[in-house]
Chains A and B, each alone.
Chain A
Amino acid sequence: MAACGRLPLQRLLSAPSPRLISSRHVQVESASPATVYPPVLPSRTAKSKSAKQRVLLDFFEQLRGAEPREKIRELTRVQRMKYVVYPQTFALGADRWYQHFTKTAYLPGLPDTFSTTAEPDQHLKTAIDDSALSELRSLVCSALLQENWYMKKGRTFVHEKQKRSVTPFLTNIVSALVHSLARTNPVLRLSSLDFDPQVNFYWVNGERTIPRGHRRGRVEPKWFQIDDKPHSQIRIPHQLPEFVPLEAEISAEVPAVQLEPDRLPLFRRQYDNNICIGAKLEDPYSYGHTQFHIVPDKFHRDRLIKKSLSEHIEVFLRANAIASLYAWTGAQAMYQGFWSEQDVSRPFVSQAIITDGQYFSFFCYQLNTLALSSFATPDNHRKNLCWGTESLRLYETITDGDVVGWDDNVLRLLVQFLLNKPQN
């Protein structure tokens, strides 16, 4: 038979015979670095998913080398229907949904840098002594009494009580505390204090299948926009130090919500996409320090308790902090040139204090990732972190020119927050 007559080729080729050596090695060395043929890419103009993807990836490639201003302009140029996320919302359970939209893990309590115990922290004691703290206490008390007792004010509407007394009180204590603590924390002297700034952020998270219409069945990304107006904020020229390292393992999980955002309820609108930290790109104070928010009359705790929504008090505060701080830190990162395809190389840290005049809540946020739906990093293990306290009462009531039930711990926490400074 022909098969028995043939010599096995493998044995012939592998035998180290001098006659076969040169012809055997020819095929092994053919792998040279210069590719002979160009890479096989999908079309640009075909009506196919791969063509669309190629166009998108080429656009992203183009943006990689651009200036931050051009990156922001190109990413926000086209207006599309997007979910408008309101930081201050009536939606029940909004904090879990917002954590899902922003890939944030919520950790109750504050990071180790701040102490919430009754004994004063050693670090705080070295920073300011008791006399300075008592001066700050009298300052805050005077501001409180000025708005609620000393200043003669007329009557206002029911829904304008916060605007009448809490807004000027917070304005006074923010500027007074920043000026007093400028001695201890020199970064506050080099800070910019904005009142009523505009903080905006626009991002993509996840995809949705268009349910009906002429584009039914197609997959499109889910765009989100936050337009926030805090009461005031402090911006500094350098970044605050991180609370935990960028790649640290944190046990808290980001809640996954299977329902679509419309069920929150969250509504879609189309208008200008803005990304702003409170000032334009040219401002040298491009990092955030602390934001201050006021709980409006609509969400005041007495009103929520009357509507038997007492759980919503804390949910509202958490949702407000997560949304506002994610928007602020995300915008800060975009101002530095990071975006979803070029993820942040260092964490962006900011703080927020939310108050209704009597109760204060403190929140810290660390932005570890902007790549929530990214082609460059499809399996992103990083998550953003938000620490927060429950609402702590500063005082019980005001009677006849006296503040009754004063709690020093809240003031200490406030001072610690303002004393946080960059590492240099």
Chain B
Amino acid sequence: MATNCRTAVSPFAYSVPPTGLVLLTGTQTLCKMFKAAVNSSLCPVVKDLRVFAPRCLSLSAGLCARAPRPKPRDVPQIAGLERVSYAARMHYVPGLAKPELPPWERGWKDPRQYRSPKPEQMELYKEKPCYIYNQRTNPLEGVRQALWLTKAKLVEGLPAQILSLAEDPANQIEDQDVRVQNAIRHARFWDTTERRPSRERFCPSLLHNLLHLCGGLQATHPGLARRMLADKYSLAASWSRGEDLFQVRGQNGLLLNCMSPLPALAGQEEIQSTADHVLETFYPISPTIDLQCTHVYEQKNSIGFREDYPYPHAHTLYLMEAGNTPPLYPEQLRAKMIMFAFGNALARARVLYGNESKVLEKPIVVQSVATNGRLFQFVVFQLNTTELESDSGVKNLAWVDADQPLYDFAKIRPLIKKKVVRVPAGLSGYQPDTFKKFLALYLHGAA
């Protein structure tokens, strides 16, 4: 499939009609055929269609296909017998051939008129392609694909240590439910002069309000002071699975960095028992589907900060589905969380242990929280090994807690069906457990 083929095609350019045109039925319209021709792989550039379009005067739809334009014949080049051209005359002369002029060079660099060289001529070109997962990737197989790419085993629900942190009353904020509900109401109703704030506004507003509530616990948990938030950082991590190269690249979300690493959640027995687990494949779909395939790449591993950064350990990655990025289904959002948590962990492992593939004695844990303003997804990723080429051996672990609603409805106007109020106006259906898990993930490592 040709990429970005925006130029028009003339059917007369083909000596043989493209197969797409022949197979279309009589019910197809002219423009659909036109589109098929444009999107087919043989798509030469033509300047103006209107001059060459034939008149189709028949009444039946089946005869509306454009006859292909005959190609001009290949003119043989015989040395010594070139046709006389009007190059020397410096202007068009009827009867003389069109000269082959060298391509015009501007002579100076105009930043608005830059044509990039072909991929094969770029300095970072490599024969072997690399599949890159970036912030716009929408993987078809979602979490299964992410688990295969990261050689991880899925565990439903959050680990027991974090759940116990959530239930511990010493870790609660005073008037927690009231304050969280006020935070939700502020984000969903009160934050604007219009009737309702848009998702681009209420989603980050809700996340910052919740983080502000959690940060207030610094008075009782002094370990929370050793953290720093970083927005718009760029991650780079590369690894190979089987014969393919993979990379995780780009900006992804808000990262909470910590001075000390998170403790490992799964003991050695659990890690060794993952060796028996078989990774789920989804043949005939390739695990590289929907990843950006490129031949021009650099195998970079970088946490996004310099080596002497005082907060080198990635703690939690906050992703927002706020409507200003290409939309993702919850399954794909969870895949994105797993991939970027893995990318952070792998980049840290490369810094600590270099590029060698080995099983880590001290597994690296990175958490991730994603929200669309109402539903929260929690992922905790533990990197146990960097031996990712083969499918066997110790696997990484991913605890996923999916689709936790913080509240059911936040309506400006009540939903009334058949004169009965089904959903009242305001905030309804608040679930306190979701915020407890959010708080537990925040406090993990400092409580």
- Bind each other: yes
0 or 1 for each of A97-126: is its CB under 8 Å from B? (1 = yes):
000000000000000000000000000000
Partner of A179 from B183, B218, B232 at Cβ < 8 Å: B218
Whole-angstrom CA separation of A146 from B233 in the bound complex? 11
Whole-angstrom CA separation of A150 from B219 in the bound complex? 28
CB-contacts of A170-211 with B (<8 A)? 171-172, 175-176, 178-180, 182-183, 188-189, 192-195, 197-198, 200
Partner of B225 from A135, A171, A282, A284 at Cβ < 8 Å: A135
Is A142 part of the binding interface, using a Cβ–Cβ cutoff of 8 Å? yes
Quote the shortest CB–CB distance from A278 to chain B (angstroms): 8
Partner of B215 from A150, A175, A192 at Cβ < 8 Å: A175
Quote the shortest CB–CB distance from A273 to chain B (angstroms): 10
Is B228 part of the binding interface, using a Cβ–Cβ cutoff of 8 Å? yes
Is B74 part of the binding interface, using a Cβ–Cβ cutoff of 8 Å? no
0 or 1 for each of B213-236: is its CB under 8 Å from A? (1 = yes):
001101100001100111111100
Is A168 part of the binding interface, using a Cβ–Cβ cutoff of 8 Å? yes
Is A143 part of the binding interface, using a Cβ–Cβ cutoff of 8 Å? yes
Kindly list chain B residues whose C-beta atoms are within 8 Å of the C-beta of A183.
218-219
Q: Are A193 and B208 in contact (CB under 8 A)?
A: yes
The residue of chain A having its C-beta at the shortest distance from the C-beta of B233 within the complex is A151
Kindly list chain B residues whose C-beta atoms are within 8 Å of the C-beta of A280.
189-190
Is B186 part of the binding interface, using a Cβ–Cβ cutoff of 8 Å? yes
Q: Are B191 and A189 in contact (CB under 8 A)?
A: no
Is B39 part of the binding interface, using a Cβ–Cβ cutoff of 8 Å? no
Q: Are A198 and B228 in contact (CB under 8 A)?
A: no
Given A150-B306, A179-B224, A274-B193; A282-B219 close (CB under 8 Å): no
Whole-angstrom CA separation of A272 from B192 in the bound complex? 13
Kindly list chain B residues whose C-beta atoms are within 8 Å of the C-beta of A171.
229, 231
Q: Are B190 and A179 in contact (CB under 8 A)?
A: no
- Flag the segment in B57-65, B157-165, B308-316, B415-423 that touches A: B308-316
Kindly list chain B residues whose C-beta atoms are within 8 Å of the C-beta of A172.
228-229
Partner of B218 from A182, A197, A401 at Cβ < 8 Å: A182
Kindly list chain A residues whose C-beta atoms are within 8 Å of the C-beta of B215.
175, 178-179, 182
Q: Are B209 and A176 in contact (CB under 8 A)?
A: no
Q: Are A152 and B219 in contact (CB under 8 A)?
A: no
Given A135-B225, A142-B228, A146-B309; A152-B234 close (CB under 8 Å): yes
Is B32 part of the binding interface, using a Cβ–Cβ cutoff of 8 Å? no
Q: Are A179 and B193 in contact (CB under 8 A)?
A: no
Given A180-B225, A182-B216, A198-B192; A146-B230 close (CB under 8 Å): yes
Is B205 part of the binding interface, using a Cβ–Cβ cutoff of 8 Å? yes
Kindly list chain B residues whose C-beta atoms are within 8 Å of the C-beta of A175.
211-212, 215, 229
Quote the shortest CB–CB distance from B447 to chain A (angstroms): 15
Kindly list chain B residues whose C-beta atoms are within 8 Å of the C-beta of A192.
183, 186, 209, 212
Whole-angstrom CA separation of A152 from B307 in the bound complex? 11
Quote the shortest CB–CB distance from B442 to chain A (angstroms): 12
Whole-angstrom CA separation of A153 from B233 in the bound complex? 7
Given A142-B310, A149-B306, A183-B219; A176-B228 close (CB under 8 Å): yes
Partner of A152 from B212, B224, B304 at Cβ < 8 Å: B304
Is B185 part of the binding interface, using a Cβ–Cβ cutoff of 8 Å? yes
Task: Tell me the count of chain B residues lying within 8 A, CB to CB, of chain A.
Answer: 36
Whole-angstrom CA separation of A263 from B205 in the bound complex? 39
Q: Tally of A-B residue pairs with Cβ under 8 A? A: 95
0 or 1 for each of B274-314: is its CB under 8 Å from A? (1 = yes):
00000000000000000000000000001011101111000
Quote the shortest CB–CB distance from A402 to chain B (angstroms): 11
0 or 1 for each of B304-340: is its CB under 8 Å from A? (1 = yes):
1110111100000000000000000000000000000
Is A220 part of the binding interface, using a Cβ–Cβ cutoff of 8 Å? no
Whole-angstrom CA separation of A274 from B192 in the bound complex? 11
Quote the shortest CB–CB distance from B348 to chain A (angstroms): 15
Q: Are A168 and B305 in contact (CB under 8 A)?
A: no
Is A370 part of the binding interface, using a Cβ–Cβ cutoff of 8 Å? no
Given A182-B218, A182-B219; A279-B230 close (CB under 8 Å): no
Is B182 part of the binding interface, using a Cβ–Cβ cutoff of 8 Å? yes
Given A168-B232, A279-B190; A152-B211 close (CB under 8 Å): no
0 or 1 for each of B20-52: is its CB under 8 Å from A? (1 = yes):
000000000000000000000000000000000
Whole-angstrom CA separation of A143 from B204 in the bound complex? 21
Partner of A151 from B185, B211, B304 at Cβ < 8 Å: B304
Kindly list chain A residues whose C-beta atoms are within 8 Å of the C-beta of B304.
151-152
Of listed A154, A179, A182, residue having the most chain B CB within 10 A = A179
Whole-angstrom CA separation of A70 from B200 in the bound complex? 30
Quote the shortest CB–CB distance from A332 to chain B (angstroms): 15
Quote the shortest CB–CB distance from A372 to chain B (angstroms): 23
The residue of chain B having its C-beta at the shortest distance from the C-beta of A234 within the complex is B212
Whole-angstrom CA separation of A75 from B228 in the bound complex? 45
Kindly list chain B residues whose C-beta atoms are within 8 Å of the C-beta of A278.
191
Given contacts A178-B215, A189-B219, A280-B189, 12 further A-B contacts (CB under 8 A): A139-B225, A168-B230, A168-B231, A172-B229, A179-B224, A183-B219, A192-B186, A193-B212, A272-B193, A279-B186, A282-B185, A282-B189
Which 9 residue pairs are nearest across A and B when measured between Cβ atoms?
A179-B215, A183-B219, A280-B190, A279-B190, A150-B309, A179-B218, A189-B216, A274-B193, A150-B305
Interface pairs (22), CB distance under 8 Å = A139-B225, A142-B228, A142-B311, A143-B228, A146-B230, A150-B305, A151-B233, A152-B233, A152-B304, A171-B229, A175-B211, A175-B229, A178-B212, A179-B215, A180-B218, A182-B216, A188-B216, A189-B219, A197-B191, A274-B193, A282-B190, A401-B306
